[in-house]
Homo-oligomer: A and B are copies of this chain.
Amino acid sequence: MIVELVNTGSELMCGRALNTHQQWLCRQLADAGYVVRRQVAVSDEPADIAAAVRESLGQADLVITTGGLGPTSDDRTREVIADLLGLKLRENREVLDQVRNYFEKRNRPMPERVRVEALVPEGAIILPNRHGTAPGLAVPVPPGRFRPGSSPAWLLMLPGPPRELQPMFLESALPLLRRELRPAVERVCRTVHTCGLGESLVQERVEPALSEFVRSGVKIGYCARPGQVDVRLTFAGPGSGDVIARAEQALRAALGGHVFGVDDQSLESVLIDLLAAKGRTLAVAESCTGGCLAHRLTNVPGASRVFVGGFVTYSNELKQRCLGVDAATLETHGAVSEPVALQMAQGARLAANSHYAIAITGIAGPDGGTPDKPVGTVFIAFASPERTIASRKFHPGDRQTFKDVTASDAMNELRRLAMENF
C-alpha cells in the first residue's frame, strides 16, 4: 500500500509556519500500519495543488491533503480537487446547518463566504468537524483513472487547523481507512518514554538487551527531546503485537525506573495519575520556570484531583510574602540557592495545605549568570509531611528549553520519590 501526503499552504513555502501536520499524520498513519512513502508541500496556488495531487494519485493508493478548506480567498483545495476529478460541487444541507449552528452557538453572524464550506463533491463521504466549520472530505477515485490497478484509490481532504484535523482524523478518517483500505502486513510500533539518562547512555543499555529481538527483525529508533529520550520499537509481520510486548519487557528491564510511560502518556499525566492513586495532593512554587510546571500539570484533564495550586514567585518580595522565605537567607545565599529552594518548598506546602510541594529556583537566561552559577543552574526541592530535600542541577540551553527540561526533571524526580512513599 502506497500512501502519500500533500500539505498545502503558502505560509509553508515562505517558511512562516512549521508543518506539524506532517509529523502528526505520519505518526498516526505509521502506527495504524499505513507508512507514508512521500510527503509533498506546495503553495495555495491552484496549479501547484493540482500538479501535486495529480502526481500523487498517479502512484498512491491513499492520498491525504491538508489545508485549503476554509472560507478565505486562498482556500482552494476543495474546488481544485473537484475539478481535477471531474466532480460537481453541491451544497450539502446538513453541513450548512452545522455551520450555521456553529455561529449561532457563539452568538455571531455567519459570514456569507463561510457558505463555501458546505460544498461537497458528488460521491464524497463527509468527515464531520467537531471543532470548526469546514468538514473533511473522503473521495473514492475509480481504478485506472490516474494509476493502473483494479481497486479504487482514496483521496482524503483534511482541514488546516490542527485542533480540527486531529480529532477528525482519529474519529472519522482512520475508521474509514480501516474499513476501506486494510494494510497488507500487521505492523506494531511502540514508543517507550524515558527520563533521566542521555541518549547514548540509553542506547548503551538498550542494545545488548535487545540484540536478539533486532536479529529477528525488530527495529529500534532513538529520539532525544528536551528532558526525555524516547525509544521506538517497530515490528512488521505476523504476531507483531506479541513480539513488541516481549521487546518492551526486555527494554523496561534494561532501563528500570527511567521508563515513565509509553506512546501517548506524558510525564505530567503519569505523575497526576500516580498521585491520584495514592490520594496525594501537590502544590508548586516556581521562580525561573515561571509557571511552566503548573501549566503542564494543569494540561492533564482532571488535574484538580491532585494539583491544588501554584506560586510563581518571580520577585524576592513575593518569595518572602507568599512562601515565607527568610530575608536573611535570601541575603546570605541569594535567591538561586539550596536553602531558598528548601524554604520555598516548605512554604508552598504550608500555604497551599497540600501533601507534597515542589519548588524550583534557578537561572533561565539569557542574562543573569555568574561564574559560580552560570545560566542553566537550578535548585529543585521537594517537601512532604516528613521531609524536605533539594538538589542542584544544571540544564544549559535556551530559555524555553531550560524551562521545559527543568519542569520535566522535577516531575520525574517526584514520580520516583512518590513511588518510594517519600
Q: Which residues of A contact B (CB under 8 A)?
A: 9-20, 22-31, 35-44, 48, 52, 70-74, 105-106, 108, 111, 113-114, 131, 160-161, 163, 167, 189, 191, 198-201, 203-204, 207, 219-224, 226, 230, 232, 234, 284, 286, 289-295, 297-299, 301-304, 307-315, 317-318, 321-322, 351-353, 364-367, 394, 396-401, 403
Contacts and interface: CB of A to CB of B under 8 A. Distances in A.
A105 B395 CA distance: 11
Nearest to A30: B14
Contact of A221 (B10, B161, B351, B364): B10
**Which of the listed residues A219, A234, A367 has the most CB atoms from chain B within 10 Å of its own CB?**
A219
Contact of A299 (B17, B312, B403): B403
A40 B37 contact: no
A414 to B, nearest CB: 16
B35 A13 contact: yes
Nearest to A7: B39
Contacts of A43: 37
Contacts of A41: 22, 38-40
Contacts of A307: 290, 314
A391 to B, nearest CB: 14
Contacts of A25: 15
A299 B322 CA distance: 22
Given A163-B401, A221-B10, A312 B298 contact: yes
A118 to B, nearest CB: 14
B221 A11 contact: yes
A289 B111 CA distance: 30
Given A15-B27, A26-B14, A44 B221 contact: yes
A292 B299 CA distance: 9
Given A308-B314, A353-B317, A301 B366 contact: yes
Nearest to A107: B394
Contacts of A189: 14, 16
A291 B304 contact: no
A16 B221 contact: yes
Contact of A226 (B44, B163, B297): B163
A230 to B, nearest CB: 8
A24 B14 contact: no
Nearest to A394: B106
A137 B399 CA distance: 26
Contacts of A313: 309
Contact of A290 (B230, B294, B400): B294
Contact of A22 (B12, B72, B292, B311): B12
Top 10 closest A-B pairs, CB basis?
A15-B27, A290-B298, A291-B294, A15-B26, A310-B312, A291-B291, A291-B295, A14-B30, A111-B200, A309-B318
